[in-house]
Chain A
């Protein structure tokens, strides 16, 4: 092997490399510099950006030998001095300004894109040499360096701040309530330093001695009978240690989160149901040998007719995907008498919509490592959204007790619902068992795209009836959902789509039917919004059109029917508190008006200088009439608006609980650690839990650490789904902290000789407070002292709290189906090019009722990221299948929003607290991504008069409709 001699982060390095090795691989796997990430291996995502001789390059396609003699800078070399992973070291002072500002501005979420993003930004600032950097320059530099979490706003702010163009958080963070010490304050993420320095470990960054590499043989055909599987040639290949098929699965042959219908490995004589079905798995000395072995496995198929759409799947004579038939579930929602309601209506409108299958495109492809411990237990290292369910599923298929399996959660490079199902977890356990050695399976981007569940493509027919005065009398919806080859969370997702299909409105008569259908497409499961993204689009598009029919302002129509405290939902739930929908709407409308007034004033001034035909004339009326377009050249502009709601928590009768363990320590000034298995997928859970605990124990935020996602070390926090973690795990952490405070109070009260009730926990101390003015009477102890007293008395310094959310009722039984709902109103200003049909989102105004802001910095990140993901859902993202074969088999074929799509975002927070939430908080993870799609499509309709009822908006068909005078794209 040739030697590569080069300089990495200032140190000379010599390493043997093969000609077909790339710089990213050499840095990661030979030099252990795992801060450089590989997101796609096709030069598309930018995660692997490093600086070579002063120039940024994507290292995944940079042949290592080209770097002969070169100077390489990676994320590990950006901080001024070697980084120490000890969070208490004074490392903050040594961070590069970019690293500091990424942390400060919340530009770090899941952290997987962060190293590449910082390297790319560093190259930009190095070029600028202190000169001010413009937004345009940032957009040019960062185009095609993708981030899926932040929406790019915070990244751009961080870069400018790092360049000395200081942007204050107060300038753009929305106003939120204060009143507590830590809760409600903008705090940097606890894991941020590790993420900006490259020290953060994701699954593929973990290495064991003697580790083998696994690979999975995929069916490649969407529907077929397996006639033969011959693995003999693969077995014989030198370097191959195991080739396993269906017969080698000792326990449960299928996996699944709700419905156990997904084969761990497909059996000979049985069927494959989608292209990503796993046929065989291999473990070998190297990834290359494992791939070669896959090519030697012979499989014969008898191809079967493909079921390609849910409507076709529902035909009586359609081929059966599963023996039980193609219907996974018929979901029904009913309130009142919908036919009577339509009879009472003055106007009835029925419309059909189509939404596309889309991919999460989290930047970290799936990776899992399985190993057997000396005690014979299985350890699985994986970035998963549901640690305990992974454990149970691995144990079931291995045929061992649950206690024999430990899931060790690594950091997760984005999830968005796409890392809830089993991918490699069972496979690595089987291979570890077969070989007795640790085995890693890392998916290629291609494999990730064709294997994991997507967002459900749906066909939704919405029918609304209203009186002339705008009061809705009836709402009906029929949904067909494509859940693909296996159920995944299809039943739950489509239940949510159905229950939300009548919109956030109080309608006396409502009925929805949904047919969740199996097809031979890639399975569909959880994806941020969980079905509500789809039904919100259908309802909110119809509402604008209905308003037009009624001659009522669409905003008024929504306010006439919106859910209020005291309203009843379509599932029969009476809302007793925390319904901030109208206030959200008011904020957005006021901000739209202000923006419009500003624009018109500016245009008038401009028009006086150089008259532009049409513009001045159009706006002689009162500023801002919702829906009124304007024109500049061949571009039309208009605002569009939509509202939405989304449940917090599992609901529907599920036992929604989370456990949290708290332990207090006397080290330093005293610290606490909070532990739960809940997953951090970029949303900011550690910051929320730390804030909640710090608040209850009166500790500084920095003195609380968080341990997540380990089934041996952390209690079950339940799945990270349904916008539930702030609420459910947040409550568990809060109650654990409150119980610990009680224990500490009793101990301290005895020592200080005061009543426990008179003690206050604040500023890292336990103080005897004066009843009248709240000042300390002098009797006090440090937090650490109290912990020492506990230890001296032999008391336990840790405890576990099991929190169970208030009981909910299953769909169809009335009563409370959910513990809380979050609400939002989004408005989008779009530009439609009437020559090309291209659509741009220029501005978004968003207001969210999330109960209470625990950490406004993380909250704003969830909102901006959700909005930009929603822009993708509306305009760019599509995962089409043709006869079961996906088109986007490479990232180059899947277009997610880049920094070029980033709009100006104005965000408002509405805090209608829910009494059962921690400090009144509800979820935000999904609602931020929901109304944005119909806000955009309503804006397009306002701008050019074409209602696009099929997602994503296609410029070709939109233009054709505009030219033909068609009123819609169906």
Chain B
């Protein structure tokens, strides 16, 4: 049974002028109001009937939301309304957070990246979110304005399940902050789509490594997307414990594969996904190792 295409429901378009106003409105209409920035997912989901909010609160124009600042001692602060094309083009991002630019570049189409934001990508809490892996390895912090004022949440503790985050009614993400990455850090994002049937990633692997005083001389992190209810951060401790070899990287790829239990769905079999986790992890780690000056 299929239901008729419901079309777009009636909604009110709210454009608050202050964060307080926005938070209060959202808090007063739980389940009926939704904050949006680019709207790249919001309106598609509303046309599909998946979301049926009565009020859409455009928080894009709020103070500070469009700021993109890099302070060498602190890090990068990406206002929630900074679109991905602007982020990708930023010289500071290119220089200090190339992994973030690389991941953002794989999101949808150029037209959508004109409006799509990192904050939106994070708040959607999709298991496939392209830029989330970079955020997790950089240990990003989420600046939130709520009814009770400002607070900071760690991205690593932000997701509760597919589409679910720690945000409460009235909460608005105002910025994502990326600490300065460790000296000499390198990263790689590999996204595997499918030839047929839609464009969504079926496996996404973010690998990240940096020199450290370990037995191997490095520390590595891996994030797997699309294979678990939320993007999964894996500490690759074994890559710190002994000198790096291709065999050790293979072993790490196996650890990654064994840490997820993907499901069969129309986009790919569980078996294929597991195998791809292993292959993509190995390739991404090898690439990072190479960049680290292997």
- A residues sitting closer than 8 Å to B (CB atoms) are 2, 18-20, 22, 41-43, 46, 49, 52, 55-58, 61-63, 65-66, 120, 123-124, 140-145, 217-218, 220-221, 275, 287-288, 291, 294-295, 444, 446-447, 450, 835-839, 875-878, 880, 885-890, 892-895, 952-956, 959-960
Contacts and interface: CB of A to CB of B under 8 A. Distances in A.
Nearest to A295: B4
Contacts of A143: 109-110
A61 B1 contact: no
* Residue among A291, A447, A885, A886 facing the most chain B CB atoms (10 A cut-off): A291
14 contacts: A19-B56, A42-B48, A43-B43, A63-B13, A66-B58, A120-B110, A141-B110, A143-B110, A144-B109, A275-B2, A836-B276, A886-B2, A887-B197, A959-B275
Given A142-B110, A886-B2, 8 more contacts: A43-B112, A65-B58, A124-B110, A143-B109, A144-B109, A220-B1, A835-B283, A893-B198
Interface residues of B, number: 49
A895 B196 contact: yes
A875 B44 contact: no
B13 A217 contact: no
A430 B52 CA distance: 34
A62 B110 CA distance: 15
Contacts of B15: 65
B3 interface: yes
Contacts of A120: 110-111
Interface of B: 1-13, 15, 39-40, 43-44, 47-48, 56, 58, 60, 83, 85, 105, 108-112, 114-115, 192, 194-199, 266, 268-269, 271-272, 275-276, 279, 283
Contacts of B271: 960
Given A20-B11, A144-B111, A893-B198, A835 B1 contact: no
A887 B271 CA distance: 22
Nearest to B43: A61
* Residue among B83, B109, B194, B279 facing the most chain A CB atoms (10 A cut-off): B109
A835 B111 contact: no
A442 to B, nearest CB: 12
B2 A220 contact: yes
Contacts of B110: 56, 120, 123-124, 140-144
Contacts of B1: 220-221, 885
Contact of A58 (B7, B85, B112): B112
B110 to A, nearest CB: 5
A144 B108 contact: yes
A58 B115 CA distance: 9
A536 B44 CA distance: 39
Contact of A63 (B6, B56, B272): B56
Given A56-B111, A220-B4, A885-B2, A878 B197 contact: yes
B7 A291 contact: yes
A877 B111 contact: no
Contacts of B39: 61-63, 66
Contacts of A141: 110
B111 A217 contact: no
A955 B13 CA distance: 44
A890 B5 CA distance: 10
A42 B58 CA distance: 20
A43 B115 CA distance: 12
A833 to B, nearest CB: 9
Contacts of B43: 22, 43, 61, 63
B11 A955 contact: no
A895 B198 contact: yes
Contacts of B6: 291
Contacts of B3: 220
A836 B268 contact: no
A46 B111 contact: yes
* Residue among B111, B197, B283 facing the most chain A CB atoms (10 A cut-off): B111
Contact of B12 (A19, A291, A888, A895): A19
Given A58-B112, A291-B7, A960 B44 contact: no
A959 B271 CA distance: 11
A956 B10 contact: no
A217 B198 contact: no
Contacts of B196: 875-878, 895, 952-954
A889 B108 CA distance: 20
A615 B192 CA distance: 27
Contacts of B83: 55
A217 B4 CA distance: 8
A887 B4 contact: no
Contacts of A444: 5, 7
Closest 3 CB pairs of A and B: A144-B109, A19-B13, A61-B43
A38 to B, nearest CB: 12
A140 B89 CA distance: 14
A876 B13 CA distance: 38
A892 B195 contact: no
Contacts of B47: 41-42, 61
B198 A952 contact: no
* Residue among B13, B39, B58, B283 facing the most chain A CB atoms (10 A cut-off): B13
A63 B1 CA distance: 31
B231 to A, nearest CB: 20
A457 to B, nearest CB: 14
A42 B5 CA distance: 12
Contact of A875 (B2, B115, B195): B195
Contacts of A49: 111
Given A42-B44, A58-B111, A952-B195, A218 B4 contact: yes
A662 B13 CA distance: 56
Nearest to B12: A19
A889 B48 CA distance: 10
Contacts of A955: 194-195, 272
* Residue among A18, A43, A140, A890 facing the most chain B CB atoms (10 A cut-off): A43
A218 B6 CA distance: 12
A145 B48 CA distance: 21
Contacts of A886: 2
B201 to A, nearest CB: 12
Contacts of B40: 43, 61
A889 B279 contact: no
A880 B267 CA distance: 12
A837 B12 CA distance: 47
Nearest to B269: A956
A589 B69 CA distance: 58
A889 B287 CA distance: 39
B111 A57 contact: yes
B81 to A, nearest CB: 12
B11 A288 contact: no
Contacts of A893: 197-198
B176 to A, nearest CB: 21
